[in-house]
Amino acid sequence: MTVDYDVVIIGGSLTGRYAAILATQLHAKVALVEPTAQKIFPHLLTPHALAYLGKCQQSAMSWEITANKKDTVEWADILQQVKGVVADVEEQYSPAVLAALGVDMISGDGQFVRSPALTFSVNRRQLKSRSYLLATGSRPLIPNIEGLQATGYYTTADILSVLNANPPTRWAIIGGDPSGIQMAQILTRFGLDVTLIVKHSHILPREDPAIVQLIQAALEAEGVRILTETPVTQIKQIQGTKWVQAGNYAIETDEILLCAGQQPDLAHLNLEAVGVRSHRHRLVLNAKLQTTQPRIYACGEAIGGYPLTNIAHYEAAVALKNALAVSRDRVDYGSIPWAVFCDPQLARVGLTETQARHLFGDIVVLRQYFKSIAAAQIEMATTGVCQVVLLLNGEILGATIVGAYAAELIHVFSLAIAQRIKINKLAQLAPIYPSFSEIFAQIAALTYQTHLNRGSIWDKILTTFRRW
């Protein structure tokens, strides 16, 4: 079959545009199909906007303290800065930039067609390609709550436009995912009344409870009301006021913000008809990010999970190389870090303590608190902890950092895990003093107080099997 492209990317997300640029660097002939522009923006860069908004607010609060709160912070100016950052990032992935690189940009809604051969049909064109990459956006997961649709709600994609005017005073945030944590803190720092409602036993349920408790305590200290193990069962509007029934609580609020997660936006692509299978609304993929239709791959938000840009870009690179037969890479998330840009920040790579105990049994857990770091004392940022999970031979299984610059510091552990660098090697570092990097040498020094051993041959075989 004569083909038009090496790869056709079904986009609608920042990852789709990143993948298109990467495909040109791999010398591929590439087409990027996106829905109409208004469907992509401003949703495309919402995570970046939230992260920058939180950083601006943190700086503004520090400025207020030094000024003894004699002046007020102009939040409209901060929002304008946020929009400027969004515009700058957007420009790096603009259609003009992609077109200049040779990407065939196609705007329109399309779907896969099986007969007579696998193609993607859009704007009355049949795009024939050696391979296809699903890099679509996602849409908010809307929980099935009685009265929710009738009462109305916002999602994070709407939030910048809401804050630009006079925002409602009282907010109920449903969901404890990363965007919910960030938004609870941001809205509180705007001087708004916030209740965060979480159905799990703690916020960020995938993380170790002891670690998350530091962030939960920080949010509560700033005024966020957090209700855990409290499922929302009903929402009503009575005389212009919204009421949220959550467990035994009846919460009066002005607006509702949904942060219950995202789900892939794939329903319109006719995937099932061309042999792409799903399980529980998630694509069935192998380690090469290949679907059950061998010529169709997927990455990023199309796969599901948290919309984390760095992980989505990693997946795009793996999927593209496999789709273009450049290599036979397999995804390995064990050394890929991620972060939540709340204050203090949370960053993790590898396994949590709970996961490691389940997989390996006997492990060693080291913790070092930020109050021991001179730089943290100088910057008055002593709230934080670095936790490292180890095998008995000193191999690092995972690390979690809560505190200032956590998203920067975590990369050292990411490299250590990827290169199988044991914890004792970090003790050889001579970090700049004063700096937050002291945490590496300090936590590595704790290994001298533990009972690490080299392990027998049988231990090594058993560890390898469990890791596999």
Binding residues for FAD, as ranges, are 110, 136-138
Q: How many of the other CB atoms lie within 10 Å of CB of 194?
A: 24
For the CA atoms of the chain, what is the radius of gyration?
Answer: 24
CA dihedral sign, ordered 364, 365, 371, 374: positive
Closest CA to 40 of 111, 122, 124, 135: 135
Q: Quick one: the chain helix, strand, coil %, rounded to 5?
A: 40, 25, 35
Enumerate the known binding-site residues.
110, 136-138, 261
Closest CA to 257 of 191, 341, 170: 170
- Provide the b/e sequence for 381-411 (b: ≥16 CB within 10 Å): bbbbbbbbbbbbebbbbbbbbbbbbbbebbe
Closest CA to 442 of 429, 461, 455, 460: 429
Query: CB-side exposure of 386: number of CA atoms within 13 Å?
Result: 27
Judge if the upstream peptide bond of residue 434 is cis by omega within 30 degrees of 0. yes
Estimate to the nearest angstrom the gap between the alpha carbon of 41 and the chain centroid.
18
d(C-alpha 251, C-alpha 226), whole Å: 12
Closest CA to 270 of 113, 422, 453, 95: 113
Beta bridge partners of 126: 121
| Residue 18 structure tokens | 């990143």
| Residue 198 structure tokens | 């979480």
Enumerate the known binding-site residues for NAD(+).
261
Q: How many of the other CB atoms lie within 10 Å of CB of 244?
A: 25
Alpha helix locations (H) across 236-381? 309-323, 353-360, 374-378
- Whether residue 175 contacts residue 202, with contact meaning beta carbons closer than 8 Å, is answered with no
SS3 56: helix
